[in-house]
Amino acid sequence: MKTRITELFSIQHPIIQGGMHYVSFAELAAAVSNAGGLGIITALTQKTPADLAKEIARCREMTDKPFGVNLTFLPTVTAPDYPGYIGAIIDGGVKIVETAGRNPQEHLPGLKDAGIKVIHKCTSVRHALKAESIGCDAVSVDGFECGGHPGEDDIPNMILLPRAAEELKIPFVASGGMANGRSLAASLALGADGINMGTRFIATKEAPVHENVKKAVVAATELDTRLVMRPLRNTERVMRNAAVDRLLEKEASLGHDIKFEDIIEEVAGVYPKIMMEGDMDAGAWSCGMVAGLIHDIPTCRELVDRIMSEAEGIIRNRLASML
């Protein structure tokens, strides 16, 4: 299958693995890239630029295919060493960067000078157009269904993707709700050039997370996620658990007076306990509604091959037969 995304990133299949905190390590990125998709390492999971450099080198040992690095620009008082992380990416010979969070404009010249292609995560058409105008090569359009931060507009992909197709000139991928061949065929029909999957790749053999996390994703239905931090305008879609119920009770009782400090216990520094140790009630962790479509834990290659086979069957047989 050839799309503008497979051409842009020199990959076999139009499937990108999203950058996920404490999930997107070298093992997973290499497995996705070896399966013909685009694997992504999450930079800020690595505590220092030197650690990221080691992770990139580790990924290089496991694949000779293209892979990327996710770099999220956080609205924090003490920012991470972004120039250091960018230096590690450039020195590691990585040619694809997925940016997220704040506007990446100030960092684009350095990335572009190094011949790096940039795909920026957006939750609205206006943000996607801004990314296009500042020189991003592609965008990932995240619908309201997605795990993590869906923005504040609450527009699902059935509307968001065709709107993006109406407005954008650069390639874009659909993110949020993506799990199978139907997801890919539908996204292509709605104007996207591929898909980005986060939650679906957590439930794979190679994902270096605790087995409890994978089982929780498989056991969940589409009804088991919740939106938290909405009063703080930092909305995040997470898997429901005891900590999330506690957090939502605080939001209900404190209302608009709530501050980040009130919920810090449920959201700060919880990812190592959940992803590494398998303590499923340690805090809030990102998960998409797509959990309702995830029923097994295949290898990345089995998953990617299955998606491509299903999508081809839908396009060639089901859709063509209707004409």
pLDDT at 218: 98
Do residues 133 and 105 touch, judged by C-beta distance below 8 A? no
Burial 249-274 (b: 16+ CB within 10 A, else e): eebeeeeeebeeeebeebbeebbebb
Indicate the pairing of strand 39-42 with strand 67-73: parallel
The C-alpha atoms of residue 35 and residue 84 are separated, in whole angstroms, by 30
Do residues 163 and 183 touch, judged by C-beta distance below 8 A? no
The C-alpha atoms of residue 87 and residue 105 are separated, in whole angstroms, by 16
Q: Which amino acid is at 33?
A: S
What Cα–Cα distance (Å) separates residue 117 from each residue in 8, 30, 57, 177?
8, 19, 19, 25
pLDDT at 85: 98
The C-alpha atoms of residue 29 and residue 201 are separated, in whole angstroms, by 10
Do residues 176 and 288 touch, judged by C-beta distance below 8 A? yes
pLDDT at 76: 75
The C-alpha atoms of residue 200 and residue 288 are separated, in whole angstroms, by 9
**pLDDT tens per residue, the chain (323 residues)?**
999 999 999 999 999 999 999 999 999 999 999 999 999 999 999 999 999 999 999 999 999 999 999 999 987 778 899 999 999 999 999 999 999 999 999 999 999 999 999 999 999 999 999 999 999 999 999 999 999 999 999 999 999 999 999 999 999 999 999 999 999 999 999 999 999 999 999 999 999 999 999 999 999 999 999 999 999 999 999 999 999 999 999 999 999 899 999 999 999 999 999 999 999 999 999 999 999 999 999 999 999 999 999 999 999 999 999 99
Radius of gyration over every alpha carbon of the chain, rounded to an integer in angstroms: 19
To which H or E segment does residue 16 belong?
strand 15-17
Q: Which domains does the chain have, with CATH numbers?
A: 4-209 (3.20.20.70), 221-286 (no CATH)
pLDDT at 242: 97
Do residues 30 and 62 touch, judged by C-beta distance below 8 A? yes
> What is this structure's pTM?
0.97
Q: Which amino acid is at 222?
A: E
The C-alpha atoms of residue 234 and residue 74 are separated, in whole angstroms, by 11
Strands (E), 216-283: 225-228, 236-239
Indicate the pairing of strand 195-197 with strand 15-17: parallel
What Cα–Cα distance (Å) separates residue 73 from each residue in 55, 77, 82, 100, 101?
19, 12, 8, 6, 5
Q: Provide the token pair at 151.
A: 């923005």
